[in-house]
Structure 1
């Protein structure tokens, strides 16, 4: 295929997921004169039949928005993001955020519960500490253990549809002048023609884009294309996320209509979350439960094999279903299925947002919580790219990219 060479952009963002789409919107807000493009792949209508091997982990209708969390950096990133959700909905007309509240359940010995309890006094007007009787009175469909500590938070907490969040970010970015191209980027190269240096972005469809700067936001796939300079490999661990869904009858949807997002630990000390009934594109309502696995996926082939599955044919983890039915009582199960998700994790548990070279930056690795904080991450990354250096009030040291040291054989 002959190459289609596009005009020179000031900033090209590679990866049209939550972080990249947010970065595109904020870049065009910060400097309306900036020529910005966003390149990424649309969600395939049929994962099994699609020809490419790039998939997002945001192909879903529900992701937790949890402002009440133990890590202060993620808490602040999420708080700032959630504070702008309603404005973004109003600007675009795309509704993606449900403020259902957040219920945290755990034992007094749980380290994370203790961390959260320490920050509760600073959020006193928005937080309630509930005993078992109060929880069952407020949510009679929940089965809470006598020894559980329970904390309820309402403001800017609940869940988003990541699909619709991305649509809203991209709609706003387009309105502000950003060009959005649906394509798979195969290679990013720095061109050196003396004083006229720029970046070249080559795609699977044979397109060539030139840009003064490039921001990489492709999530778990950042190491599976020629995007970073030769010899540079980010220190990332890719982990499977286990998801299970229960299809509900309308009577249970009505019964659970005021259900919050729930985060809790089971008896075997696993972190779990449950989302309230959500309507999916097929018109059906599902309860969803998820937890992070410790199972790594280390090659492109394994990631693609795990993600390229028809969710309706993925058998739900029976352990997760058991946990869900233990906590949410008297559900009439219509059907069950699972789904696949891969999250990128860093050694310190925070994302990477850093300049790799003076013309190439990265914003990646949500550590399993990137969607809910993605708007502020996108703003942070856009400011960094435009200024060419760190330009955010949170300390740069938290987000510096770390690279693997390859042994010399």
Structure 2
């Protein structure tokens, strides 16, 4: 029997774990390499990833046809991934895309929804308040409401589900930090702190660390982001259980997650959206950013926006957390062969969590070409 080529997927995040599942299901000899989530981000001295979270918006529609099609493909596989892994990660509470009635954001969203026949209801004017009475949008705003197959996912649990299924398909997990690659005639040497295994093919899916793993000049714009978390009582969370996720057409790209229980046992509503970019140009800067926990001035701005959006919601406490987004110049993920042996599938451009299974599939497909 002909020996199968050995494949390393570098990055145990959303795209990497998905790629490993697709490769393993195709019968490939695959090793998924990356560290586990740190127990304490404030003291952790290793690498960080953006999927250490319990809430990311998922929806079929978008203002861009590529991201809508990738999301539709991924969402169609959510329930299969949940059922076969036994790990629930999808909360189908619905989603809103809201913005000024005359703005490009809502106009583009309507165009994409129509082109792809995305099931939605167009809530204009006072209809938003009738459907979601706790939400107070500006008077000139409307919203597109997706009631089905949308809401939010737990990126942390989605990664766990993908990883479990990859292992079930024969993938090997390697708990380590990749410090660089070296292409040789015999294969690609993957340098880690605990060894240097050699593989026939490598797929790099390391998010904000991708450029550093590849050892190339910075091609991504990696940005630090701050999110505010608003703690609710059990009763208030139950009362607000009908709320959908919300994406807003503001210059800062604000978004909102409805009540979600976090690992500390508390229930939070989350609001994100930064007024400017904190550029993270090295692994040290990425680590320092995550350990910082975010910017208090951004949290304060998000609190003011939250109070305006949800004036009647009772909040017990407010805290903030740090995250990061990875952007390309064309606002598309980088899914490409870089050489005969090295490929890349990375850069979610602030939209990659919900459609990560499709981005991972596309990355896996590169190695079958």
Alignment TM class, shorter chain as reference:
over 0.9
For 2:217 and 2:90, locate their aligned partners in 1 and report how far apart those are by CA, in whole Å.
Answer: 35
Q: Which residue of 2 aligns with 1:261?
A: 245
Q: For 2:190, which of 163, 186, 201 is the aligned residue?
A: 201
Q: CA deviation at 1:210?
A: 1.4
CA shift, 1:265, in A, is 3.4
3-state SS in 2 of match to 1:48: coil
How far apart, CA to CA, are the structure 2 residues paired with 1:119 and 1:369? 16
Do residues 213 (structure 1) and 201 (structure 2) align? yes
Distance between the aligned counterparts of 1:214 and 1:341, measured in 2?
Answer: 27
Distance 1:287 1:88 in 2: 26
Corresponding position of 1:13: 9
Task: Tell whether the 8 Å contact from 2:13 to 2:51 is kept in structure 1 after alignment.
Answer: yes
CA RMSD of aligned residues (A): 2.0
Match of 1:404 in 2: none
Shift of 1:187: 1.9
TM-score by length of 2: 0.94
- Report the Cα offset of residue 320 of structure 1: 0.6
Q: For each residue in 1:250-289, what CA deviation from the matched residue of structure 2 results, as whole angstroms up to 9, or x when unmatched?
A: 22101111100011135xx432110000000111000000
Task: Out of 339-348 and 104-113, give the one that drifted further.
Answer: 104-113
Alignment of 1:47-66 (within 5 A): 47-52=41-46, 54-66=47-59
Distance 1:386 1:11 in 2: 11
Q: Distance in 1 between matches of 2:103 and 2:297?
A: 31
Equivalent residue for 1:233, pick from 194, 217, 222: 217
Q: Which moved more, 1:98-107 or 1:113-122?
A: 113-122
What count of residue pairs does the alignment treat as equivalent? 366
Distance 1:344 1:120, change over 3 A: closer
User: Quick check: 1:8–1:209 contact (8 Å CA) kept in 2?
Assistant: no
2:368 equivalent to 1:374: no
User: Are 1:129 and 2:122 counterparts?
Assistant: yes
Runs of 4 or more off by more than 6 Å in structure 1? Answer: 313-316
Q: Is the 8 A contact 1:316 1:338 kept in 2?
A: no
Aligned to 2:283: 300
- Shift in Å at residue 21 of structure 1? 0.2
Distance in 2 between the 1:98 and 1:261 partners? 10
Asked whether the 8 Å contact 1:198–1:210 carries over to 2, the reply is yes
| 1:24 counterpart residue number | 20
Q: Secondary structure at the match of 2:197?
A: strand
Normalized against structure 1, the TM-score is what?
0.85
> Alpha carbons of 1:221 and 1:304: their partners in 2 closer, same or farther (altered >3 Å)?
same
The corresponding residue for 1:396 is none
The answer to whether the 8 A contact 1:14-1:215 is kept is yes
Deviates more, 1:296-305 or 1:80-89: 296-305
**Compared CA separation, residues 207 and 254, structure 1 to 2 (3 A):** same
Unaligned runs of 5+ in 2: none
Residue 99 (str. 1) matches residue 92 (str. 2): yes
Give secondary structure in 2 for the equivalent of 1:337.
strand
* Rg (Cα) greater in structure: 1
The Cα of 1:109 is off from its aligned counterpart by 2.7
Measured in 1, the distance between the counterparts of 2:117 and 2:128 equals 18
CA distance in 2, matches of 1:134, 1:108: 13
What is residue 38 of structure 1 aligned with on the other side?
32
C-alpha separation between the residues in 1 aligned to 2:187 and 2:303? Answer: 52
Q: Deviations over 1:381-406 (max 9, x none)?
A: 1011122xxxxxxxxxxxxxxxxxxx
C-alpha separation between the residues in 2 aligned to 1:71 and 1:98? 23
Deviations along 1:1-22, one digit per CA (max 9) or x if unpaired, are xxxxxx9961001110000000
CA distance in 1, matches of 2:254, 2:310: 13
Match of 1:399 in 2: none
What secondary structure is seen at the aligned counterpart in 2 of 1:370?
coil
Unaligned runs of 5+ in 1: 1-6, 388-409
